[in-house]
Amino acid sequence: MTSYIAILFTIFIIIGMPIGFVLGVTGLLGMLKTGIPSALYLVPQRYFAGVDMFTLMAMPFFILAGEIMNKSGITSRLVKFSNVLVGHLRGGLAHANIVASIFFAGITGAAVSDTAAIGSMLIPGMVKEGYDKDFSAAVTAASSIIGPTIPPSNIMVIYGAFMQVSIAGLFLAGFIPGLLIAAVEMIVTARIAKKRGYPVGERRATIGEIWKAFKEAAVALVMPVIILGGILSGLFTPTEAASVAVAYAFIIGHFVYGNITYRDLWPLCMKMARTTGVVFLVIASATILGWVLTMEQIPEKVATLMLSISTNKWIVISMILLILLFIGMFMDITAALIILGPILHPLAVSLGFDPIHFGIIMILSLNVALMTPPVGACLFVACGISKITLEQLSREIFPYIVVVYIALIIITFIPGITLFLPRLFGFAN
């Protein structure tokens, strides 16, 4: 049965069927293969059950909040503030690109949105200042994976909902790993900028200039504080926090900046609905396949296979990392999370890994896929903006992939990096 499902899945992927349909059709055929008489009745039930979770409502609200903030022109203010902070360094615009991704992560929580918003502004600007086009696209795509790492993060909402892990704990756990990824990317950027002689700022910004840029960007920087502060204080749940973020984003865009009107809400809501619809289709279809895998005891078989190789937790987690990095290169990260989460999460917890720590490991491993060929979504967005080929971008982004892998290994083998903030607030032992 396992080989039957694997063959079907591979065939559908090769012929180019959308991943949401691949998962659903494979699950349906798997049910029929098992001979379950009520298979055709179970499929719609499981399909609906896959998205019948109140917690998942946080995702469309976070997406809408990000769309409103982006429409309001906050991107330019964040980029300006980032440039004021690090623009004096050699390769200053490239460093500003990474720092802007840190700030923008607190608004959208989606890597592709970060790539589109920041890339459309900074890639042409970097090229105009003398940076290579492929390098400009590479640093934009690489830094965008910080988005789903630093809260709010849509992928963390999905993981927390399905694995019954505290979303607030995951949000807290993502801060330091996100900053670590930014740090290693800035190190690579500094080396490349020095080697190629990229532009350097004429002078360091004054305190007055920094303060002025901060005041312009402050209203956006407050959003993650409101979200996390409300959740941690018990004032509202993650789902309610997402709706508060939407209200805050509209108030800022309409009353403070004046760039958002009531007429803008309909197209923004439609864009949010399209994005959410695609993700929810994948989640619902993955639930069908996940049910079949559970019925066939695939999680138990995978755990038994890994433990037959070694019972050492660090060797097992190394195997898990390799699986996640490989699968992420070819599968949508939401689908991979829904399919592999119920298989790998219990195994990791049984070996002594904290659920929050393993959640971050899994999320980061799959996030790397967003900047990894051949199906990295951020790569295609950056290619579209910069008008270069995927081959050109893949060569240029390789050093960033290497250092992010190194950061992932550090985060995996030093749990304290991830668990420091969750422990501080009582979400982890």
Q: What percent of the chain has pLDDT over 90?
A: 24
- At 310 the three-state DSSP class reads coil
Q: What is the per-residue pLDDT for 108?
A: 66
Total number of residues shown for the chain: 429
How crowded is residue 44: how many other Cβ atoms within 10 Å of its Cβ? 11
- For residues 200 and 175, the model is more confident at 175
Q: What is the per-residue pLDDT for 305?
A: 82
Give how far the C-alpha of residue 68 lies from the chain's centroid of Cα atoms, to the nearest Å.
Answer: 19
Average pLDDT of the segment spanning 264-274: 88
**CA 424 to CA 415: how far, in whole Å?**
14
Task: Measure the CA angle with vertex 276, ends 274 and 278; round to 5°.
Answer: 70
Task: Measure the CA angle with vertex 323, ends 320 and 327; round to 5°.
Answer: 140
Average pLDDT of the segment spanning 372-380: 79
List, in order, residues 6 or more apart from 48 with CB less than 8 Å away.
Answer: 284
Q: What is the per-residue pLDDT for 185?
A: 95
Give, for 3, the enclosing helix (H) or strand (E): helix 2-14
- Flag whether pLDDT at 297 surpasses 80: no
- Flag whether pLDDT at 169 surpasses 70: yes
Q: What is the CA radius of gyration of the chain?
A: 22
Q: What is the per-residue pLDDT for 255?
A: 86
Q: What is the number of alpha carbons within 13 Å of residue 395 lying toward its C-beta? A: 7
Average pLDDT of the segment spanning 88-108: 85
Alpha-carbon dihedral 51, 57, 59, 61, rounded to 10 degrees: 150
Q: What is the per-residue pLDDT for 189?
A: 95
Which has the closest alpha carbon to 412: 315, 342, 329, 330? 315
**CA 377 to CA 52: how far, in whole Å?**
27
Q: Specify which residues 90 forms β-bridges with.
A: 200
Q: What is the per-residue pLDDT for 188?
A: 95
Q: Output the six-digit token pair for 67.
A: 């769309």
In terms of DSSP H, where are the helices of 197-312? Answer: 207-232, 238-251, 262-295, 298-309
Give the pLDDT confidence of 246-255 residue by residue, as tens digits: 888 888 888 8
Q: Out of 232-241, 357-366, 403-412, which region has the weakest mean confidence (pLDDT)?
A: 232-241
- Flag whether pLDDT at 226 surpasses 90: no
pLDDT, averaged across the chain = 85
- Flag whether pLDDT at 137 surpasses 90: yes
Of the pLDDT bands very low, low, confident and very high (cuts 50, 70, 90), residue 422 is very high
Which has the closest alpha carbon to 414: 73, 176, 250, 199? 176
Q: What is the per-residue pLDDT for 134?
A: 92
Q: What is the per-residue pLDDT for 162?
A: 85
Cα–Cα distances (Å) from 316 to 4, 342, 356, 371, in that order, read: 26, 16, 17, 25
**Between the ranges 226-230, 231-235, 297-301, 406-410, where is the mean pLDDT highest?**
406-410
Of the pLDDT bands very low, low, confident and very high (cuts 50, 70, 90), residue 113 is confident
- Flag whether pLDDT at 1 surpasses 70: no
Of the pLDDT bands very low, low, confident and very high (cuts 50, 70, 90), residue 420 is very high
Q: What is the per-residue pLDDT for 193?
A: 93
Q: What is the per-residue pLDDT for 179?
A: 94
Give the pLDDT confidence of 306-320 residue by residue, as tens digits: 888 888 999 999 999
Of the pLDDT bands very low, low, confident and very high (cuts 50, 70, 90), residue 78 is confident
**CA 273 to CA 145: how far, in whole Å?**
22
- At 52 the three-state DSSP class reads coil
- For residues 187 and 7, the model is more confident at 187
Tell me, letter by letter, the H, E, C secondary structure of 132-145: CHHHHHHHHHHHHH
Query: Which pTM was predicted?
Result: 0.85
- Flag whether pLDDT at 86 surpasses 80: yes
Cα–Cα distances (Å) from 48 to 177, 256, 426, in that order, read: 34, 40, 34
**CA 341 to CA 375: how far, in whole Å?**
20
Which amino acid is present at 154? N
**CA 379 to CA 229: how far, in whole Å?**
34
Q: What is the per-residue pLDDT for 273?
A: 87
**CA 304 to CA 22: how far, in whole Å?**
27
Q: Specify which residues 200 forms β-bridges with.
A: 90
Average pLDDT of the segment spanning 126-143: 91
Average pLDDT of the segment spanning 38-57: 76
- Flag whether pLDDT at 109 surpasses 70: no
